[in-house]
Amino acid sequence: MRTTPLATLITLSLALAAGPVLAQQNVDKVFGGITAQSGQEYGLLESVNGGITVREGAVVRAAETVNGGISIADRARVGSAETVNGGINVGEEATVGSLETVNGGISLGEGAIVERGVSTVNGGIRGRQGVQVGGNVETVNGGLKFEGAAIAGDLNTTNGDITLDDTRVQGGILVEKPSMGWFNSGKNRDPRIVIGPGSVVEGSLVFEREVELFVHTTARIGPVTGATAQAYTNKLPPRD
């Protein structure tokens, strides 16, 4: 069948329109860092010994490394970010599907969105004003601190403090009993749980170990198991 000039132009236009999608590239390294350039789209960024940097406005399907941190700049989009030995930093108004590390902290900038969950083993997790998390926030040996955030799931820790300031948690809070496994850091101090001014925890607060629980008079919480809440009225609760 003869191709008309119009059909040729349509085919060419469709090919050009699909260009950015077809141009998405995977980057795989054993040694060295990887950088996703601003405004570009990528598939899987994968390294063994090196950090991953996603610059402002870049789009990445997944970022994975073993020994290295992951830095996601303002307004970037990443489907998932995972590392073993390294922290993860998410910039302002960035969108990420999920965040996971073993040995490292996780920081969420103002207005950042995590569509699913946030998880670490040895490291704290912090979310600033306007942060939204669509799933659970979990750590073992690390604190959880959120200011002006909204969390759709639960907050879980074993050996870390929890501090909420003007934050809504649709799920509950679980502080688990320490185990003798290697994940347990062996901390002896009781975790300090602070439900600060204007905060809401809609679900149950369950404590399988001794904790200090402070609840501001303007905060609202669900039923408590395993601890006695101490009310306070100042910006910060008292310390011994």
Is 126 inside any structural domain?
A: yes
pLDDT greater than 80 at residue 185: no
Task: Tell me which residue range forms the domain holding 214.
Answer: 27-232
Answer yes or no: is pLDDT of 190 > 90: yes
pTM: 0.87
Structural domains of the chain, count = 1
In a domain, 136, yes or no: yes
Confidence category of residue 239, pLDDT binned at 50, 70, 90:
confident
The percent of residues in the chain predicted with pLDDT above 70, rounded, is 86
User: What DSSP element (H or E) covers 16?
Assistant: helix 5-17
pLDDT band at 17 (very low <50, low <70, confident <90, very high): very low
**pLDDT at residue 23, rounded to an integer:** 52
Beta strand segments in 11-147, E: 25-31, 34-36, 41-49, 52-54, 59-67, 70-72, 77-78, 81-82, 88-90, 95-96, 99-100, 106-108, 113-114, 118-119, 125-127, 132-133, 137-138, 144-147
Average pLDDT over the chain, rounded to an integer: 90
Instruction: Report yes or no on 51 lying in a domain.
Output: yes
- Is residue 237 a part of any domain in this protein? no
Domain-embedded: residue 43: yes
Is there a domain that residue 2 lies in? no
Domain-located, residue 129 = yes
- Does the residue 18 lie in any domain? no
Work out the burial of residue 184: count CB atoms within 10 Å of its CB; fewer than 13 is exposed, 13-18 middle, 19 or more buried: middle
Closest CA to 219 of 170, 171, 168, 173: 168
pLDDT of res. 181: 56
- Nearest residue to 155 via CA among 170, 138, 142, 143: 138
How high is the pLDDT of residue 238? 86
